[in-house]
Amino acid sequence: MVTITDISKACGVSRATVSKALNGAPDVSQETAARIRKTAAALGYLPNATARALKMGRSYNIGVLFSDETGGGISHEYFSQILESVKAESERLGYDITFISKDLGRMSMDYYEHAKYRSCDGVVIASADFQDPAIMRLAASEIPTVTLDYSFDNCSSILSDNVRGMEALVRFVRAKGHRKLAFIHGEMTSVTQKRLASFRRTCAELGVPVPADYIRPAVYHDPRSSGLATRALLALPDRPTCIFFPDDLSFLGGMSELEKHGLAIPKDMSVVGYDGIPLSQVLRPRLTTYRQGAERMGTEAARLLIEQIERPDTWLPQQITVEGELLEGSTVSDIG
C-alpha cells in the first residue's frame, strides 16, 4: 500500500505538505503541488478512507436499512428499485453505502449500534417495522436519518402519495361504472391505513357504499394470501365487480384464483393493483395500477440525507411526497 509517507519521501517534502497538496489546500506552491500530484499518480496512490474517517470523524459512508422480517426485503422490485436509486445518488455525491442490520457475527447489536460501529454518517431507513423500538432508537438518535414511507418526528422522510394514488384508482374504477368495490389490504402499517382511509373516503365522496364484507386482510407481496382473500370475496352472495389488490405481485394470486372459477379479466371481474412495477406492464392484459415513483424516492432520500450530513446547521426536517402515476392498463372493464 502506497501512503502519503511514500510520496513525501519521493518528493522530498513533509507528509503535511503532501496532504495539503492532494486536498487542494491554497497554502502550497503551484509547482510543488503539481510535482506531488504527479508522483502520487505515478506511484498509484489511493487515499485510505479508513484513516481519513478516523481522523475527520466523517466516513463518507451511509447506512441503508432493509429489515427483511417485515417482508420488505431487497428482492421485491419496489424496494430493489429504491435501493438502486439510493445507491446511485449516494455514489454520485461521493458516498458509499453499507447495509445496516441487527447482529453482526457473534456480537449482537441493534441498528443504532451497528450504524455507530461502522461510523455511518447517516442512515436511510428504507423498509422496517417502525414500531420496533430498535428502529425508533435509531431514528431518535443523533445520527442523521431519513425514513421512507413513514414519518418520525424531527426526521426527514420521503413519502409515496398513497392517499392520492388510491383516490386516483377509485375514481378511475368508478368512472368505468363500477359501484361494487372490494379491497384486499396488506398488513396494518401506516401505509395501509392511508390507502384504506383514502379508499373509504373516496368511495364516500362518490356515494359508493363499502360493505364490511368487501374489506379483506392479506399480506403484502404474498400471492397466496391474496388468493385466499379473493376466494372469500367470490363466495359472497353479492360479489364485487372490481377487486383492489394490496400490490401488483399479490394480484397474481388473485389472478389464478379467478381463473379457477372460470372468470376472465376484465370481462367477468375487474382488478387493480398497486406499485406499478415493470412486471405489471408486461402482463397481458396490462394491469391497471398506480406506479409509485420508487427511483425518485430513493434519489430524494439520498439527497436529503446527505444535505443534512453536510449542512447540519441549516438543516430542518423535511417531508417530501413523491407523486406516482396511474397506469390505466386494461384490467378494468367499462360497465358504465
Residue 109 vs 134, nearer CB to its own copies: 109
Nearest approach in angstroms of CB 279 to its own copies is 7
Q: Which one-letter DSSP state was computed for residue 192? A: H
Nearest approach in angstroms of CB 96 to its own copies is 5
Residue 50 vs 193, nearer CB to DNA: 50
Contact 272, 332 (CB under 8 A): yes
- In the list its own copies, DNA, none, the entry touching 267 (Cβ below 5 to 8 angstroms by class) is none
Residue 161, C-beta contacts closer than 8 angstroms, at least 6 positions apart: 321, 322, 323, 324
Residue 19 vs 281, nearer CB to DNA: 19
Nearest approach in angstroms of CB 175 to its own copies is 26
Residue 120 vs 170, nearer CB to its own copies: 120
- In the list its own copies, DNA, none, the entry touching 97 (Cβ below 5 to 8 angstroms by class) is its own copies
- Please name the residue that has the C-alpha cell 457473534: 106
For binding to DNA (CB under 7 A), which residues are involved? 1, 3-5, 12-17, 19-20, 22-23, 26-29, 31-33, 45-48, 51-52, 54-56
For binding to its own copies (CB under 8 A), which residues are involved? 1, 46-51, 53-54, 59-61, 68, 73-75, 77, 80-81, 83-84, 87, 91-99, 101, 103-107, 109, 113, 116-119, 223, 249, 252-253, 255-256, 259, 279, 282-284
Residue 20 vs 221, nearer CB to DNA: 20
Nearest approach in angstroms of CB 101 to its own copies is 5
Nearest approach in angstroms of CB 74 to its own copies is 5
- In the list DNA, its own copies, none, the entry touching 252 (Cβ below 5 to 8 angstroms by class) is its own copies
Residue 87 vs 176, nearer CB to its own copies: 87
Nearest approach in angstroms of CB 161 to DNA is 41
Nearest approach in angstroms of CB 43 to DNA is 11
Nearest approach in angstroms of CB 274 to its own copies is 17
SS3 percent helix, strand, coil of the chain, rounded to 5, is 45, 15, 40
- In the list its own copies, DNA, none, the entry touching 312 (Cβ below 5 to 8 angstroms by class) is none
Residue 94, C-beta contacts closer than 8 angstroms, at least 6 positions apart: 60
Query: Is cis: bond before 285, omega within 30 of 0?
Result: yes
Residue 212, C-beta contacts closer than 8 angstroms, at least 6 positions apart: none
Amino acid residing at 301: A
CB atoms within 10 A of CB 219: 19
Q: What is the rounded CA–CA span in Å between residue 300 and residue 321?
A: 10
3-state secondary structure of 128: coil
Contact 252, 282 (CB under 8 A): no
Amino acid residing at 151: S
- In the list DNA, its own copies, none, the entry touching 20 (Cβ below 5 to 8 angstroms by class) is DNA
- In the list DNA, its own copies, none, the entry touching 326 (Cβ below 5 to 8 angstroms by class) is none
Pairing of strands 156-160, 145-148: parallel
Residue 17 vs 288, nearer CB to DNA: 17
Q: Where are the beta strands (DSSP E) in the chain?
A: 61-66, 96-100, 122-127, 145-148, 156-160, 181-185, 215-217, 242-244, 270-272, 289-291, 319-322, 325-327
- In the list its own copies, DNA, none, the entry touching 279 (Cβ below 5 to 8 angstroms by class) is its own copies
Q: What is the rounded CA–CA span in Å between residue 251 and residue 245?
A: 6
- In the list its own copies, DNA, none, the entry touching 83 (Cβ below 5 to 8 angstroms by class) is its own copies
